[in-house]
Structure 1
Amino acid sequence: MEIRTPRLTLRSARPDDLKAMHAVLSDPRATRWWSTPPHDSLEQTATWLDSMIANGPDQPDFVIERDGVVIGKAGFWKLPEVGYILHPDHWGQGFAGEAVAASIDHVFGTRDVDDLTADVDPENTASIRLLERLGFVKTGFAERTWEVGGEWKDSLYYGLSRADWSARQRT
C-alpha cells in the first residue's frame, strides 16, 4: 500500500525501516507525547515495528517517507483512532498535517467508518492545533489516562466525522 502527497510517500512498514523508526522512537523530544517512553534499544523498536507490519498492508497505518528517508509514521494502528509521530528534525514544516490528511482521505475513501478519534495530551499544543486544523473537534477530557515512564498523563479526546471531513474538502 502506498499513498503519495505533494512532498511525502506514505507506505506500509517494512523490516528495513528499523533504524529510521528507532531514530524517531528513541528521541525523547519525539516521544514526549507518545504512549511509551523513548525506546532504549533497537530490539524494542523491532518489536514495535514487527507489530506494525503484522497488522498487514491493508491496515491504514503508514511510515512516512520524505525524499526516500523515513521520518515518522501516521495513520490508524487501530481504527478509528489516528496516531502520528515525526522525528523532530522534520517538525514545523507541515509534514504531519499532510500525512494525517492523506491517511484520513484514505480511510474515508476505503473503509466503512463514519467517525475518527484522537487522544492527545492537553499539553501537546502542536498536536491539538494540527487536529483542529484538520477539522477535529474536542469531544471530552479525562485525567490520568496514560502512565508513561512512571508519570500519569491526561487526555483530550477529539472526533472527526466523515460528513465534516467531506464538507471541508468541498470548500
Structure 2
Amino acid sequence: MHPLLKIKTPRLELIPATTAILSADCNDRTDLGRLLSAVIPPSWPPPLLDDATRAELVSLQETGSDPNFCTWYWILDDKSGAGRTLIGSGGTASCPSSPDTVMIGYSVLDEFQGLGYATEAVHHLIPVIFRSPGVRKILATTYPDLKASIRILEKSGFVPAGHREGGSGMEEGTLAFVLIRPDL
C-alpha cells in the first residue's frame, strides 16, 4: 500500500494514519486534532469504529504484519470558513483467503452521512489501492440493511459477490461486493 500518500479530493483531504495518529485516536482527542490539524467532533468515533477496532488498527500499524494495511482519516476542508473537521476514516487490509485481494472498510460520522463524502473518498482511494503490487481485487462487506453503504459501493463500481456466512474476518450475515482492477 502507499501509506504516506495524502489524497486530495474536491472536498476532502485523506490523511494516512501513522502510529502516533492511531494512538491519539485511542487515547487523546486533543492530540488527534493537533496531528490532523482538524476539529474532532464530539461524536467521534463513527459507527463501527469501536475501541477494540481502533486498538487493533494501532497493533496492525505498529507490527507491520499486514503489507496491505493502510488507513486514512478523512478531513472535510471547508473553504467557506468552517475550517477542517474530521468526518470519517477508511482503509484496507489483506484478504486472508485471496492474496491478490484487499478488503476495504470505511465509516463516516452520522451527521456527515448522506452528503456524498464516503463515495468521494472511496472513489479516490480505489486508484491508490490498485497501484499496489499484486492487487487485482478490492472486497467490501456490509450489512443488508445499510442501504447507503451498498449505494456507495455500487456508485464506486463494486458488484455483488454474494452473501457471507462468516469466517475469514467477515461478519456473519453480511453482503460481499467486489471491484476487479479494470485493466484485467
2:149 matched to which residue of 1? Answer: 127
More helix by share: 1
Aligned with 1:96 (options 84, 98, 118): 118
How far apart in 1 are the matches of 2:181 and 2:41? 30
Shift of 1:69: 2.3
SS at match of 1:130: helix
Is the contact between residue 41 and residue 85 of structure 2 (CA under 8 Å) also seen in structure 1? no
CA distance in 2, matches of 1:119, 1:48: 18
CA RMSD of aligned residues (A): 3.1
**CA deviation after TM superposition for structure 1 residue 139, in Å:** 1.1
Q: 1:74 to 1:21 in 2, by over 3 A?
A: farther
Whether 1:4 and 2:14 are equivalent positions in the alignment is: no
TM-score by length of 1: 0.71
Q: Judging changes above 3 Å, is the alpha-carbon distance between structure 1 residues 53 and 70 closer, same or farther for their aligned structure 2 residues?
A: farther
CA distance in 2, matches of 1:96, 1:55: 28
Question: Which residue of 148, 152, 158 corresponds with 1:136?
Answer: 158
Q: Which amino acid aligns with 1:96?
A: A
Which structure has greater strand proportion?
A: 1
Answer yes or no: is the 8 Å Cα contact 2:68–2:92 preserved in 1.
no
Please say if residues 12 and 53 of structure 1, whose CA atoms lie closer than 8 Å, have aligned partners that are also in contact. no
TM-score, scaled to structure 2: 0.66
Structure 1 position 24 matched with structure 2 position 44: yes
| Distance across 1 between alignment mates of 2:76 and 2:25 | 13
In the alignment, is the contact (CA less than 8 A) between 1:52 and 1:77 conserved in 2? Answer: no
Matched, 1:158 2:177: yes
Tell me how far 1:64 sits from its aligned partner. Answer: 0.9
Structure 1 CA distance for aligned equivalents of residues 142 and 93 of structure 2? 15
Distance across 2 between alignment mates of 1:59 and 1:49: 9
Residues of 2 paired with 1:21 and 1:53: CA distance? 24
Deviations 1:42-99 (A, max 9, x none): xx57624523643669843211111232211112133511100011111111110111
| Structure 1 segments unaligned to the other structure (5+ residues) | 147-151
| Length, aligned pairs only | 147
CA 1:64–1:52 in structure 2 vs 1: closer, same or farther (change >3 Å)? farther
Among candidates 129, 134, 150, match of residue 107 of structure 1: 129
- Aligned residue identity for 1:78: S
The SS at the match of 1:110 is coil
